Amino acid sequence: MAVKSMDVQALRNLLSLESEQSIDKVQIFDEIDSTNSESIRQIRSGNSENHLIVANSQTAGKGRRGRQWLSPKNAGIYLSLSRCFSLETSALQGLSLVTAISVVEALKELGAIGLQLKWPNDVLFEKKKLAGILLELQQRESSRYVVFGVGVNIELPSDSIASIDRPVIDLINIMSELPTKSVLVSAVVNRLCANLVVYENKGFPVFEEKWNVLDCYRLSDIVIQNGESCIIGKSLGVDSKGALLIQTASGVQSINGGEVFPSLRELGQ
């Protein structure tokens, strides 16, 4: 099944009133190095608008921790939403988790069931990665911008799947009927914009329970790797700020950075 490309007007027609009011500009590229990189370039060049950038393919898609996000043409959603915030940097900690929750909620509305989350922001299906999120903070003069990068696998070529060093899955293997890409993108953007308004007004506590219900490894033994250090314990879910709580031999620790592995064996892969 070939996934069709998009056009700006078709996408704008599907945006909610809330999204329309909060997004000043929508751009769609057939190919780009990275939607996040382009968003950052525009912010640094003086563009103060909140903007949405979508690409049909990326040549240098960005994942967390310096990884590449493979982005074959029309094989996935590749988007970046930039938004100016008045919140202090310390208050932005939970945004990555809120973005992941938004992706799950949007896809569930379209018929994708059984999705789960892995701290801090991976979207999984049967413990295989479906979507990834990369947030980047940009400060320009007195303005603080967050670039929300979202990648969702729609229909990955077999050679791409083989080249990825971890289990992955795509929407075509999850959903009985695949929506158009415009519908998928607009659903994610609409849900994200709505949740960002809630977050700005009420913070992460509103989303704490939502995350913990969806957390794939909550109450499971896990390993947290952060640089050269490892912490082993039982995941207790997240707290009201989005930090991961882990029960270790020396007590409960609050984790603000790192990567979750379900076992030492997987950590060594």
The domain boundary, picked from 170, 189, 213, lies at 213
Shared domain for 69 and 151, answered yes or no, is: yes
For residue 72, the model assigns a pLDDT of 67
Tell me the pLDDT band of 73, cut-offs 50, 70 and 90.
confident
Q: What average pLDDT does this structure show over 151-163?
A: 85
**Stretch among 27-41, 84-98, 112-126, 155-169 having the lowest mean pLDDT:** 155-169
Shared domain for 111 and 155, answered yes or no, is: yes
Shared domain for 145 and 93, answered yes or no, is: yes
The domain boundary, picked from 198, 213, 228, lies at 213
**Stretch among 57-66, 82-91, 125-134, 152-161 having the lowest mean pLDDT:** 57-66
pLDDT above 70 (res 5): no
Determine, yes or no, domain membership for 1.
Answer: no
pLDDT above 80 (res 15): yes
Determine, yes or no, domain membership for 12.
Answer: yes
Shared domain for 34 and 166, answered yes or no, is: yes
Residue 235 domain boundaries: 217-267
Q: Where are the beta strands (DSSP E) in 115-257?
A: 115-118, 122-125, 128-140, 143-153, 221-226, 229-238, 244-248, 251-255
Determine, yes or no, domain membership for 144.
Answer: yes
pTM for the full predicted model: 0.92
For residue 66, the model assigns a pLDDT of 62
Mean pLDDT of the chain: 90
Strands 122-125 and 128-140: antiparallel
Shared domain for 23 and 130, answered yes or no, is: yes
Shared domain for 112 and 184, answered yes or no, is: yes
Burial of 17 (0-12, 13-18, 19+ CB in 10 A): exposed
Shared domain for 67 and 175, answered yes or no, is: yes
How many Cα atoms occupy the beta-carbon half-sphere of 118 within 13 Å? 20
Q: What average pLDDT does this structure show over 68-90?
A: 84
Determine, yes or no, domain membership for 223.
Answer: yes
CATH number for the domain harbouring residue 232? 2.30.30.100
The domain boundary, picked from 194, 213, 232, lies at 213
The highest-confidence range among 83-87, 189-193, 227-231, by mean pLDDT, is 189-193
For residue 71, the model assigns a pLDDT of 66
How many Cα atoms occupy the beta-carbon half-sphere of 181 within 13 Å? 25
Shared domain for 68 and 96, answered yes or no, is: yes
Determine, yes or no, domain membership for 3.
Answer: no
Shared domain for 89 and 163, answered yes or no, is: yes
**What does the alpha-carbon distance between residue 234 and residue 95 come to, in Å, rounded to a whole number?**
24
pLDDT above 60 (res 266): no
Shared domain for 234 and 198, answered yes or no, is: no
CATH number for the domain harbouring residue 192? 3.30.930.10
Residues with Cβ within 8 Å of residue 9, at least 6 apart in sequence: none
**What does the alpha-carbon distance between residue 174 and residue 176 come to, in Å, rounded to a whole number?**
7
Tally of structural domains, the chain: 2
When computed from its CA atoms, the radius of gyration of the chain, rounded to whole angstroms, is 18
For residue 268, the model assigns a pLDDT of 47
For residue 28, the model assigns a pLDDT of 95
Tell me the pLDDT band of 32, cut-offs 50, 70 and 90.
very high
Q: Where are the beta strands (DSSP E) in 141-258?
A: 143-153, 221-226, 229-238, 244-248, 251-255
Q: What average pLDDT does this structure show over 197-203?
A: 95
Burial of 155 (0-12, 13-18, 19+ CB in 10 A): middle
For residue 3, the model assigns a pLDDT of 42
Determine, yes or no, domain membership for 2.
Answer: no
For residue 162, the model assigns a pLDDT of 75
Shared domain for 251 and 126, answered yes or no, is: no
Report the percentage of the chain scoring pLDDT > 90: 73
Shared domain for 134 and 199, answered yes or no, is: yes
